[in-house]
Amino acid sequence: MSNADYSILNFVCLVTPAPWFLACLWSGQRVSWIPYFMKGCYMNPGEQIDGAASAIEAIRKELGKQLLILGHYYQRDEVLRHADVVGDSLELSRRAAESSAERIVFCGVHFMAESADILTGDNQTVYMPDVNAGCPMADMAPLRQVEKAWADLQARGGGWLPVVYVNSRASVKAFCGMHGGSTCTSSNAAKVFQWVFAQDKRVLFIPDEHLGTNTAHDLGLPDDAVAVYDPDSPGRSAPTEPGSEQGGLTADAIARTRVLVWPGYCHVHMFRIVDIEAARNQYPGAKVIVHPETPKAVTRLADAHGSTSQIIRYVDSQPEGSTIVVGTELHLVERMARQHQGRRVIVPLRPSVCRNMALTNEAKLLLLLEGWLAENEVRVAPELKHPARQALERMLAV
Ligand code: SF4
C-alpha cells in the first residue's frame, strides 16, 4: 500500500472504528481488523523531506568506505534502497563483524545495533536513525530474572548451557558468554542446540518460547523433553503443577527436560490456527510458510517454517503460478509480493507489522547522516562487550 493508502486507513480507523470492524466481520476476516487498526495507528509514513533520497546518496558517495549502512528485511523500502547490505540478523551481524567502516548505521532495532557495536572495534561507531526502535521480546528477559533462574537451575543439579536468541539485551548476551553459552538466530538455532547437546549439556533458551520449542521439535525431541521456565512462578503466575518449585516446574519435569524455554514471544509472529484455516479456505492449494517465532501448534499446520532468509528462499523455489501464504512481518511480505508480481502470488497470512522496525524512515536516516549526533550512537558498556562478544563469536563459528 502507498503512503496515501495508509493515510486513508488511519482516517478510517480513527474516525470510524465500528464500521471498519463490522466490514471486517462481513468480509469474513474475523480478527484482521486488529492488525489493520494497529497498522493505521503505527504505520505512520513519517516525516517526508523533499530530496531526501538524493541527499542521502550524496553523503554515501562522499563518505565512501567510511560508511556502512545495514538494513533489516523488515525495514521500509524507502530505507532499504540506501542500504549497503540488506539481510536478516545473522547476515547483518556477520557483515558488521567483517566491516572496517568507521561509521556503521543500523536500520533495524536496538539489539541488532548493540550486536554490531559488540562485534566491531573501538575505532568504529554504530548509529541508529531512531534509537527508540526497541524489541519487546528482548525486554521480556531482564538480566536480574535470568540470573535468578540460572542460580535456581544450578542449585537443582545443573548441566545446562545458556543459548540466547540474538533478540535480547546486551547484558543477557554477556551473561550467556560468561557461562559458556552461545547466541543464535532463527537461521542457526538448530545448529547451536546440537552444539550444546554435543557437549552433553541441556539448553536453557532465552527469550523466545516458540523458537526454542519449534527448534527442539525439529530436532526430534519428544514434547516432554521441552518445558517452559516461568520466572514469575511461584508468585505472580499461577496455577502451577502440585509440587512445582521455582520456575513452575517439578523436580521430575526438570529431570526429564533437555530444552528449557523462557516464556518470551514476538507479537508480530503470534499467528493462530484460525489464520491458517482461513488461508487454506481462501487460497486452496496454496503453500503456507511461517516464521519459527510462531507457536508450535500453528507452525505444525503450515507447509514449512523458516527464518526470514529461509522464507525468501522458499518463496523463490516455488513453481511459477503458485500462491504462497507467508506468516511474517508485513513489510517483507509486501516486498516479496511486488518482486514476484506476474510470476507468483504472495499474500500475508495476516497483516502483521513490527511497529519498532517501522520507526525508522528515510527522513530520520538523512537527519542522522547530516548531524551524526551523539544521541544516535549505540554503545554497549565496556564490561559487557567482551563476554557478549564471546557468545556472538561462538554462534558465528558454529
Ligand atoms: S519483529 Fe518481533 S522480534 Fe523482531 S524486532 Fe519486531 S518485535 Fe522484536
Tens digit of pLDDT for each residue in 187-203?
Answer: 999 999 999 999 999 99
Q: Are residues 167 and 244 in the same domain?
A: yes
CA gap 298, 290 in Å, rounded: 9
* pLDDT beyond 60 at 88: yes
Q: Are residues 85 and 31 in the same domain?
A: no
Domain end: 214, 236, 266, which one?
266
Q: Are residues 284 and 327 in the same domain?
A: yes
Q: Are residues 168 and 243 in the same domain?
A: yes
Q: Is the CB of 185 under 6 A from ligand 1?
A: no
Q: Are residues 169 and 213 in the same domain?
A: yes
Query: What local confidence, expressed as pLDDT, does residue 245 receive?
Result: 75
Using most ligand atoms within 8 A of CB, pick from 73, 89, 109 the residue to mutate for ligand 1. 109
Domain end: 266, 294, 320, which one?
266
259-280 per-position pLDDT tens digit: 999 999 999 999 999 999 999 9
Q: Are residues 89 and 25 in the same domain?
A: no
Domain end: 246, 266, 286, which one?
266
* Lowest-pLDDT choice from 55-59, 153-157, 292-296: 153-157
Query: What local confidence, expressed as pLDDT, does residue 21 receive?
Result: 45
* pLDDT beyond 60 at 137: yes
Domain-embedded: residue 396? no
* pLDDT beyond 50 at 49: yes
Query: What local confidence, expressed as pLDDT, does residue 246 receive?
Result: 81
The better pLDDT of the pair 89, 61 is held by 61
Q: Is the CB of 354 under 6 A from ligand 1?
A: yes
Cis peptide before 234 (omega within 30 of 0): yes
**Number of folded domains that form the chain:** 4
Domain that holds residue 259: 138-266
Domain-embedded: residue 100? yes
* pLDDT beyond 60 at 163: yes
Domain-embedded: residue 14? yes
Taking phi over 0 as left and psi of -120 to 50 as alpha, with beta for the rest, 372 belongs to left
* Lowest-pLDDT choice from 6-15, 21-30, 44-53, 72-81: 21-30
Domain-embedded: residue 253? yes
CATH of residue 278's domain is: 3.40.50.10800
Q: Is the CB of 109 under 6 A from ligand 1?
A: yes
Using most ligand atoms within 8 A of CB, pick from 140, 167, 307 the residue to mutate for ligand 1. 167
* 191 neighbors 398 (Cβ within 8 angstroms): yes
Q: Are residues 233 and 309 in the same domain?
A: no
Domain-embedded: residue 387? no
Q: Are residues 302 and 325 in the same domain?
A: yes
* pLDDT beyond 90 at 89: no
> Which protein residue has the closest C-alpha to ligand 1 atom 2?
266
Q: Are residues 366 and 340 in the same domain?
A: no
Selection from 108, 89, 154 nearest residue 395 by Cα: 89
Q: Are residues 208 and 113 in the same domain?
A: no
Q: Tell me, in angstroms, the distance from the centre of ligand 1 to residue 158's CA.
A: 31
Give the nearest ligand 1 atom to 355 CA. 6
Domain-embedded: residue 173? yes
Query: What local confidence, expressed as pLDDT, does residue 130 receive?
Result: 98
**What b/e readout covers 135-156, taking b as 16+ CB neighbours within 10 angstroms?**
bbbbebbeeebbeebbebbeeb
CA gap 50, 43 in Å, rounded: 20
Q: Is the CB of 135 under 6 A from ligand 1?
A: yes
333-366 per-position pLDDT tens digit: 999 999 999 999 999 999 999 999 999 999 999 9
Domain-embedded: residue 390? no
* Lowest-pLDDT choice from 42-51, 103-112, 224-233: 42-51
> Which protein residue has the closest C-alpha to ligand 1 atom 3?
266
Selection from 370, 391, 308, 361 nearest residue 114 by Cα: 391
Give the percent of the chain with pLDDT over 90.
Answer: 79
Q: Are residues 241 and 282 in the same domain?
A: no
Q: Tell me, in angstroms, the distance from the centre of ligand 1 to residue 357's CA.
A: 8
Q: Tell me, in angstroms, the distance from the centre of ligand 1 to residue 373's CA.
A: 26
Q: Grid coordinates 481462501 are at which residue? A: 282
Q: Is the CB of 133 under 6 A from ligand 1?
A: no
Domain-embedded: residue 47? no
Q: Are residues 142 and 220 in the same domain?
A: yes
Q: Kindly write down the DSSP assignment for every residue of 259-299, as one continuous string.
A: EEE--B--GGG---HHHHHHHHHHSTT-EEEE-TTS-HHHH
Residue type, 212: G
Q: Is the CB of 329 under 6 A from ligand 1?
A: yes
* Contacts of 129 by beta carbon, 8 Å cutoff, 6+ apart: 79, 105, 107, 360, 361, 364, 365, 367, 368, 376
Give the Cβ contact number of residue 104 at 10 Å: 25
* Lowest-pLDDT choice from 36-45, 73-82, 88-97, 243-252: 36-45
